[in-house]
Structure 1
Amino acid sequence: MNSPESATSAPSAASDTDLRSWLRTRVAHYVQLDVADIDTTATLTTYGLDSVYALTLCGDIEDHLGLVLEPTVAWDHPTIDALTRHLEETLAQTSPAGESG
């Protein structure tokens, strides 16, 4: 098992993994692929995600997380991994440190 590599990001691993999984599921739904076929390091355009789907994804994220995002968020952070990192940072800035709810 390669746990030493994942241990470097352990503090945020739980929420990061949940959010990444949710994003993978949404993208898979839009492009009608199995979630397992969605590579979180591939650009969203690789899967044919166009501007309409990118705006829809932005709206879904806003609803899911209660955030207001720029409509270009999917283009500014073009992979699920990059988008997850950005959203985690945004959530951390909008919530008091150590508080969740």
Structure 2
Amino acid sequence: MPEPTARVEPDEIRRWLSERAAYYLERPVEELDPGAPLAELGLDSVYALTLCGDVEDRYGLVLEPSAAWDHPTLDALTAHLLAALERG
């Protein structure tokens, strides 16, 4: 987990989220459009919940299970995580 005072860059968050989504979807990360809805990419509710757990493990942020639907793209989820990390 990053240090609480460490600045996390958006590209690092997006890359990490993309890698996690690609792992769950069993697809190369290059095939994932960060602007496409997660549901259209094939990420179902089970994987979305698991991704929320991964975020907590990685960044120490507790996300509501609905976070992947409230922020339905990798880009939107990246922005949400970045804002939450900056709020501390």
Considering the TM-score relative to the shorter chain, is it more than 0.5? yes
Where in structure 1 are there 5+ consecutive unaligned residues?
A: 1-11, 95-101
| 2:62 partner amino acid | V
Select which of 38, 45, 55 maps to 2:32: 38
1:14-93 matched pairs, under 5 angstroms? 15-93=9-87
Q: Point out 4+ residue stretches in structure 1 off by more than 3 angstroms.
A: none
**CA–CA separation in structure 1 for the residues paired with 2:49 and 2:21:** 12
| 1:52 partner amino acid | V
Q: TM-score, normalised by structure 1?
A: 0.78
**CA–CA separation in structure 2 for the residues paired with 1:92 and 1:31:** 29
> Which of the pair has more CA radius of gyration?
1
Relative contact order: is structure 1 or structure 2 higher (C-alpha 8 Å, sep ≥ 6)? Answer: 2
Q: Percent identity at matched positions?
A: 54
**CA–CA separation in structure 2 for the residues paired with 1:47 and 1:69:** 21
- Post-superposition shift, 1:71? 1.2
Q: TM-score, normalised by structure 2?
A: 0.89
How many residue pairs get matched?
82
**Over aligned residues, Cα RMSD in angstroms?**
1.3
- Post-superposition shift, 1:70? 1.0
